[in-house]
Structure 1
Amino acid sequence: MRLEPITWELLTRQLADHLAADLAGQLTGPPASAPAAQDDDRAQWLRVAVDGAPPAEPGALAERLADAVRLRGMPALVVGTDGFLRADSLRFEFGKQDPDAYYDLWYDTQALWREVFAPLDPGGDGRVLPDLRAPTEDRPTRSPYVQLPAGGVLLLHGPFLLGKWFPFDLTVHLGLSASALERLTPYEEHWKLPAYERYEDEVAPQQAADVFVRSDRPQRPAWSGLPGRD
């Protein structure tokens, strides 16, 4: 795969322009300020994955992209998978530092389907739950639902987002080489490294994502370009 140098500012701008064009070309329905149509057979929202291990900072790109999307007149909602962790009793069934449990058990994919994706399906009401459980405490957040108007963009960020059949319209993977991932991961979290290696082996996110960004050197990212670009 050929990668080209890019700045984060230009990357964000090109992604936002791509989403704006996609929305204009694909979606139908009422203006963003009006309620979502209940009988439309096409979705009224775009769903974007910003996938990457925590050291790659996918949340930072998701927030920048949300700002750029809003500047183009589209509502945006950022959701992090750390707000959809399972209860400690399930996550730590095999101990607190089990890499396979981190990969398979930590994140509540069923809740993400139910509370984040289903409301944005065709005919959905656009009411998304932004989080379910506090990431640092074993308790529900009890956050209220957030209304994402029709014509809006959901940006979901976190690790291990690809390979789960989530219905994304655009997927961006922030990749780190094994050496960069080890260098940037805090020593006390090195037990997670085999989970990231397993993700690379089983899902191959560099090839699976629509857009791949190599971010070993945070100030000098490189990317694969947008889908369909020559």
Structure 2
Amino acid sequence: MDAREKILEAARDLLAKAPVADVSTRAVCEAAGVGAPMLYRLFGDKAGLLAAVVDRGFEEYLASKRAARPSDDPVADLRNGWDNHMRFALEHPNLYRLMYSPELTAPPAAAQEAHALLHGILERCAAAGRLTVPPALATQMIMSANVGAALSMLTRPEQYPDPQFSERLRDSVLASLTRPAGTAEPGEQDSAVPVAAATLAARLRAAQSPVFTPAESALLEQWLDKLSAG
């Protein structure tokens, strides 16, 4: 194991045992058996070290996401994704708090990948006629609710004693954004146009039809997104 890996492993281990989501560079150097000049040469400063730890955390989190195979039910995939997110957060509390810390100067590139993977599942929901809002908006809503629930449970556990809290919130959020499979028409007539627009937009993106020019496709997608937003 090279010096970089030793430092990252030491920082990760110390972070997991720390009472707060923070570690000192001195403690990391002692645990890794390296001098401070080596740490600063490899990572620049403490912020650079923590950013590298966050990158490693996101890579671990994304490993299962990348390996997951789509099922025939994209809404079920959303539920599983939510539960896996919560499981990772509760198993790695300090790492997770650091991963979503507002003190990070720049979001890790892997965070954008996590966002994109969720968006991909929601595109499938829309193409199946099961999404009631545009995929981009649904992605923001689910990600915000999932991360917010995890951070709330980690930082204020005494306020969230209900072991079913995450599942209840998950089902409430998804129920507000999706509709059951096999539903011929939306329950309310006013929602028929937004659902149809979201479905058509997703199917056009998936098909990449050569019928329209890129400019025409972009304009049509803009119109459909406006309609799907209600």
Pairwise same-fold verdict (TM > 0.5) = no
Query: What TM-score comes out, normalization by structure 2 length?
Result: 0.29
- More helix by proportion, 1 or 2? 2
Greater relative CO (CA pairs within 8 A, separation 6+)? 1
- More strand by proportion, 1 or 2? 1
Query: What TM-score comes out, normalization by structure 1 length?
Result: 0.29
